[in-house]
């Protein structure tokens, strides 16, 4: 049996090595290291894949969120509603821009922000909502967009974990996640569903004016060379990374299928175990399984993590501390929140290895060891 990895990028690379190596060497030859044709081609390819008018590449997913908030003209003190149960990047950039993060509860099935909780958190200072499609499962975007419209709020989708996912609207319309809100953000961190071999990120929008602003802010607020119309930052995608992404984008759907197949396999094996809740899949979206996350009850979770580690099986707790309990947010009133569902989840979730290269022998071994511990 091959060693089990949380994400097996080495094995994945071996299968596309020739194409990737050629593409990288071509960038070297062309010396188009920052920006350049590969970046432009990738932006065009991705906008076609997503069905969105504009894709603006940038340096990473965290920058994408920050630039999105800057482009919307949010001002210090403006409130931004976001789940507490997310990766730190989502909430951190809100604080960095001196906006006020307002943390809301998530649904214990989907792990995503609850529309009702969002509604209740709206005040006269609220300017934006940042739903996160956690683990690859979409938040209830149709309801969230309706709330945003009613209260005149912007919606920035954190799509870093859900690229390639579909959203099924009640009227039959299908859209990719990330292109439903005013701006969508993603990350091409190597372990993401569409990952490059370093840092990378992008923003999506159908709004021409916003697209121009996003592009300018990502490049020092520059309208033409050395003319800076607004304060921006330096956030660029490398030519090498874009060239790799141009190889991997056509494989994304296949990669997602492999993840779903692995999730199905786990689901079947864990079905009916009263201590294990397998990931929920709402009918309104296609789950792309960036993570395969179980909820464990009446189980020594730490003990399971250690038992798996002893058997050379990695596992992860995404995320052990929710935003409202991070020291980082103490001065934002983090300690005053009572988010029972979020706390309940953080104590019970565990993510098992899931990636494009996982085989049944490996999965059977993981399943055997999980059940051995849980049923003992
Ligand atoms: C990975 C991730 C980010 C940040 O992406 P980076 O490219 O690492 O900056 C933001 N939000 C979520 C939910 C993520 O998983």
| Protein residue closest via CA to atom 10 of ligand 1 | 89
Q: How many residues does the chain have?
A: 376
Q: Is 3.40.640.10 the CATH classification of the domain at 9-104+112-250?
A: yes
For residues 33 and 47, the answer to whether their CB atoms sit within 8 Å is no
Determine whether the shortest distance from the Cβ of 266 to ligand 1 is under 6 A.
no
Both tokens of residue 355? Answer: 């990636």
- pLDDT value of residue 139: 98
Q: Residue 374 phi/psi, 5° resolution?
A: -65, -35
Maximum separation of any 2 CA atoms in the chain, in Å: 68
Non-local CB neighbours of 14 within 8 Å, separated by 6+ positions: none
- pLDDT value of residue 272: 94
The closest-lying atom of ligand 1 relative to the alpha carbon of residue 200 is 7
The closest-lying atom of ligand 1 relative to the alpha carbon of residue 89 is 10
For residues 132 and 82, the answer to whether their CB atoms sit within 8 Å is yes
Both tokens of residue 31? Answer: 């010396």
- pLDDT value of residue 109: 97
Strands 126-129 and 54-58: unpaired
* Cα–Cα dist 51/80, whole Å: 27
Pocket test for ligand 1, best of 6, 62, 293 (most atoms within 8 A of CB): 62
Radius of gyration (Cα) for the chain, nearest Å? 21
- The CA 280 to ligand 1 mean position distance, Å, reads 22
Tell the residue number behind the tokens 């569409």, with chain if given.
194
For residues 65 and 90, the answer to whether their CB atoms sit within 8 Å is yes
Class of domain 252-374: alpha beta
- The CA 273 to ligand 1 mean position distance, Å, reads 32
Tell the residue number behind the tokens 């990952």, with chain if given.
195
Helices 61-71 and 208-218 cross at an angle (nearest 10°) of 120
The closest-lying atom of ligand 1 relative to the alpha carbon of residue 133 is 13
| Protein residue closest via CA to atom 14 of ligand 1 | 160
- pLDDT value of residue 319: 93
- pLDDT value of residue 150: 98
Both tokens of residue 363? Answer: 């999965």
* Cα–Cα dist 23/30, whole Å: 11
- The CA 226 to ligand 1 mean position distance, Å, reads 31
Q: Give domain limits for the chain.
A: 9-104+112-250, 252-374
Determine whether the shortest distance from the Cβ of 374 to ligand 1 is under 6 A.
no
Supply the pTM of this predicted model.
0.97
What kind and span of H or E run contains 50? Answer: helix 37-50
Each residue's pLDDT expressed in tens, for the chain with a length of 376 residues: 999 999 999 999 999 999 999 999 999 999 999 989 999 999 999 999 999 999 999 999 999 999 999 999 999 999 999 999 999 999 999 999 999 999 999 999 999 999 999 999 999 999 999 999 999 999 999 999 999 999 999 999 999 999 999 999 999 999 999 999 999 999 999 999 999 999 999 999 999 999 999 999 999 999 899 999 999 999 999 999 999 999 999 999 999 999 999 999 999 999 999 999 999 999 999 999 999 999 999 999 999 999 999 999 999 999 999 999 999 999 999 999 999 999 999 999 999 999 999 999 999 999 999 999 999 8
- pLDDT value of residue 123: 98
């Amino acid at each position: 049996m091959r060693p089990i990895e949380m994400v097996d990028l080495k094995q994945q690379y071996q299968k596309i090595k020739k194409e990737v190596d050629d593409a990288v060497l071509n960038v070297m030859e062309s010396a188009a290291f920052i920006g350049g044709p590969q970046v432009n081609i990738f932006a065009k390819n991705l906008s076609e894949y997503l069905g969105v008018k504009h894709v603006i590449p940038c340096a990473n997913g965290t920058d994408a969120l920050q630039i999105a908030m800057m482009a919307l003209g949010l001002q210090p003190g403006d409130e931004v509603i976001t789940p507490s149960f997310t990766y730190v990047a989502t909430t951190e950039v809100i604080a960095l821009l001196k906006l006020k993060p307002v943390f809301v509860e998530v649904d214990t099935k989907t792990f995503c922000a609850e529309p009702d909780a969002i509604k209740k958190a709206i005040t006269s200072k609220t300017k934006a909502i940042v739903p996160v499609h956690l683990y690859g499962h979409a938040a209830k975007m149709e309801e969230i967009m309706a709330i945003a419209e009613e209260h005149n709020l912007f919606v920035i989708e954190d799509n870093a974990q859900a690229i390639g996912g579909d959203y099924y609207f009640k009227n039959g319309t299908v859209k990719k996640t990330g292109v439903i809100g005013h701006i969508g953000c993603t990350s091409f961190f190597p372990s993401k569903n569409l990952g490059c071999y370093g840092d990378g990120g992008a923003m999506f929008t159908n709004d021409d004016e916003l697209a121009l602003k996003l592009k300018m802010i990502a490049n020092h607020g520059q309208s033409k060379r050395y003319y800076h119309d607004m304060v921006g930052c330096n956030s660029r995608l490398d030519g090498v990374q874009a060239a790799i992404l141009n190889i991997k984008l056509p494989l994304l759907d296949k990669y997602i299928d492999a993840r779903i197949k692995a999730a199905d396999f786990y689901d079947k094996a864990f079905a009916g175990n009263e201590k294990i809740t397998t990931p929920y899949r709402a009918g309104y979206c296609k789950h792309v399984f960036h993570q395969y996350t179980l909820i464990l009850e009446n189980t020594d979770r730490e003990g399971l993590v250690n038992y798996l580690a002893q058997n050379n099986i990695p596992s992860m707790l995404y995320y052990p501390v929710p935003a409202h309990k991070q020291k980082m947010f103490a001065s934002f009133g983090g300690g005053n929140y009572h988010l029972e569902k979020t706390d309940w989840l953080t104590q019970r979730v565990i993510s098992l290895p899931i990636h494009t290269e996982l085989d049944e022998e490996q999965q059977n071994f993981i399943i055997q060891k999980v059940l051995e511990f849980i049923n003992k």
